[in-house]
């Protein structure tokens, strides 16, 4: 896969340019379910969050690497959405399929699909930034461009080069 387009910022993935999909598994916990017996819906976003950290960690971009090598604080959210299609209950084993569907200069978008057995349970996205402390206001975060080697590692599903 030839991704070397040095003069350009990370761009939206082309349709015919497949990106790596990361799979994350989890089992629904008792305390994540509500009195209706189903997962309390904000916890699905918590699942998305775990899956997103995992997308990066799987290619060697753990939070310590983010801090020490890239000088960012984290990958905070600017937008998130989910559609809930099938209920999930205590003990259900879920599979989350995640990939970055777009890298723009200021943010990137993760698509998540949660399967519960052979049903699609939840589908949604997160828009996140590559976030450093704002130089003028410690209470805010500032979006930096995502480094090209990060984009490449995540898109290709290959370990970040030293």
Return residues touching a copy of itself (CB under 8 A). Answer: 29-31, 33-38, 40-43, 45-46, 49-50, 53, 57, 62-63, 73-74, 76-87, 89-91, 139-141
Three-state DSSP class for residue 27: strand
34 is catalytic: yes
In angstroms, the CA 74 to CA 141 distance is 9
CA 121 and chain centroid, separation: 18
Nearer to a copy of itself, 50 or 104 (CB): 50
Q: Least CB distance from residue 94 to a copy of itself, whole Å?
A: 14
Give the nearest distance from C-beta 11 to a copy of itself in angstroms. 23
Closer to a copy of itself by Cβ: residue 6 or 35: 35
Which of 34, 49, 118, 137 is labelled catalytic?
34
The number of beta carbons lying within 10 Å of the beta carbon of residue 89 is 13
Nearest distance from C-beta of residue 20 to a copy of itself, angstroms? 21
Residue placing its CB nearer to a copy of itself in the complex, 20 or 57: 57
CB 92 within 8 A of CB 37: no
Q: How far apart are the first and last CA of the chain?
A: 20
Residues 119 and 117: their CA atoms lie apart, in Å, by 6
Active site residues: 34
């Amino acid at each position: 896969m030839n991704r070397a387009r040095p003069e350009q910022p990370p761009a939206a993935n082309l349709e015919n340019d497949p990106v790596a999909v990361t799979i994350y598994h989890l089992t629904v916990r008792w305390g994540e379910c509500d009195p209706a017996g189903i997962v309390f819906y904000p916890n699905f976003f918590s699942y998305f969050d775990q899956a997103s950290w995992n997308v990066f960690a799987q290619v060697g971009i753990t939070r310590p690497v983010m801090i020490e090598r890239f000088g960012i604080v984290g990958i905070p959210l600017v937008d998130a959405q989910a559609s809930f299609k099938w209920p999930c209950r205590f003990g259900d084993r879920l599979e989350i399929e995640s990939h970055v569907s777009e890298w723009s200069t200021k943010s990137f978008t993760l698509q998540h699909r949660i399967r519960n057995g052979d049903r699609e349970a939840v589908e949604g996205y997160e828009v996140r930034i590559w976030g450093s402390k704002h130089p003028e206001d410690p209470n805010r975060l500032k979006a930096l461009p995502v480094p090209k080697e990060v984009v490449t590692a995540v898109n290709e599903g290959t370990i970040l080069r030293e």
